[in-house]
Amino acid sequence: MNCDQAVLEASLSLLSVESRNLLSSLLNTKKVLTHVGPDGITRQRDWRGLASLANITNELKLSIDTQCKDKVGKVLELWIDMNDGTATVQNLLKHLELIDRFDVQDDLKTLAIEDKLLDDVESDIITVEDKTFGAPQQYHAYVLYAQEDREFFEKLRKNVTDEGFSVCSEDNLLPGYASRYQPLSRLMLLRCRHIILIYSPDFLRTPALKFFMNLAQADGITNRKNLKLIPVMFRECVLPEHLRFYHNLRYTYPEDKAPFNFWKKLNDTLGPVDLNSDQTQITTASSEVISELTNETNGFTPVKQLHPNGINMNTLTLPSIPNESVSLGDLRIDMKPEVTSLSHSSLGGRKKKLKSIKNFFFTPLKPFRRSKAEKQKEIVVDN
């Protein structure tokens, strides 16, 4: 059974779910017996032999063995991420032959004949880079510009490319599409982190650019991607009402007269360079960690504590728990959360205390009080 040449040259990133499941089910289980290949090298007849042929280090293999459940899936992922052009179906079949796994090889060829070996991603091969690498590529930004501003676009592309960013435009589109709107829309919205708009009077006079600009703006609002659009004011023009609230990055010529470094600001907006960082979550929590210590310190004490990731961090400790009673001069407050039962003797003592307090406040008023007999005596005298 022979495979089509296009299938053999396809990247392993295009393998279907059925193909990946087949490889995992047959190669994840370790084989005790080894095999000496035609090159005279002894290899394991499972995922370990495939990892060795994919130039995966022994340290990574040990990590895969102890941490990964789907070991073949991780091997394929690391092999593809090398991006050296070796992760193809043809090389996979050759490696299976070197580790004496003709059974797996035959099953993959059967899937290829049944058109089940690869995913149908023909519609996603849009750019020249997609065809070169055999799989859809991701870009940091898609650039919309008028042909009259092409010189500035070339300058922009060179500056950001030198910093490690990848940008694309209509120039990257493969020829042969009946209409450019459908493939370019999919490229902009699904495969580009940002959309750079190079504003100029000619930009606003081009209907196609206005269409893609409105499409990108609508996608940014729908998916709440505030930084999807990066408007660059290259040549001064009056923007439409719905674009005036965006903050524009203004290009000043000559550049040495500019109030800021235009290219640095653009690169900072595009960053980070690693496209995989879009899947990471940014933690906005404070770096200060508050922990409670049972020491006798009544103030805040800075201590050194290890972060879960192993980073030393300055932390704040809560003051120690107060004693059961706190003295404020002669006043003493009992800090007892429980309400104890009151005996008759304790009630009697509290009554005496209340009586003494009453005498303290009302004793000075006694000279001003008159008994009933005194009041009657005064009435008789008056009469």
Q: Say which residues have a Cβ less than 8 Å from residue 243's Cβ, sequence separation at least 6.
A: 213, 217, 231
Higher pLDDT, residue 123 or 346 = 123
Q: Is the pLDDT of residue 291 over 70?
A: no
pLDDT classification of 382: cutoffs 50, 70, 90: low
Q: What is the pLDDT of residue 373?
A: 59
| Chain centroid, CA 327 distance in Å | 52
Rounded to 10°, the helix 102-113/89-98 angle is 150
Minimal CA–CA distance to 147: which of 216, 211, 202?
Answer: 202
The CATH architecture that domain 5-120 belongs to is: Orthogonal Bundle (1.10)
Higher pLDDT, 276 or 338: 276
Six token digits for residue 173: 């589109």
Please, how many CA atoms are within 13 Å of residue 97, restricted to the half-sphere of its CB?
10
Strands 192-199 and 229-233: parallel
What are the Cα distances from residue 352, in Å, to 113, 333, 359, 364? Answer: 104, 20, 11, 19
Supply the mean pLDDT for the chain. 75
Confidence of residue 95 (pLDDT cuts 50, 70, 90): very high
| Residue 350: pLDDT band with limits 50, 70, 90 | low
pLDDT band at 283 (very low <50, low <70, confident <90, very high): very low
CATH architecture for residues 128-276: 3-Layer(aba) Sandwich (3.40)
Supply φ then ψ for residue 313, to 5 degrees. Answer: -135, 140
**161: Cβ contacts below 8 Å, ≥ 6 apart:** 167
* Domain locations in the chain as residue ranges: 5-120, 128-276, 289-318
Give bridge partners of residue 306 from the DSSP assignment: 312
Rounded distance between C-alpha atoms, residue 165 and residue 158, angstroms: 10
Which stretch of 141-145, 173-177, 193-197, 297-301 has the lowest confidence by average pLDDT?
A: 297-301
- For the whole model, what pTM was predicted? 0.45
The per-residue b/e assignment along 270-279, b for 16 or more CB within 10 angstroms, e otherwise, is: beeeeeeeee
**What mean pLDDT is predicted for residues 312-341?**
42
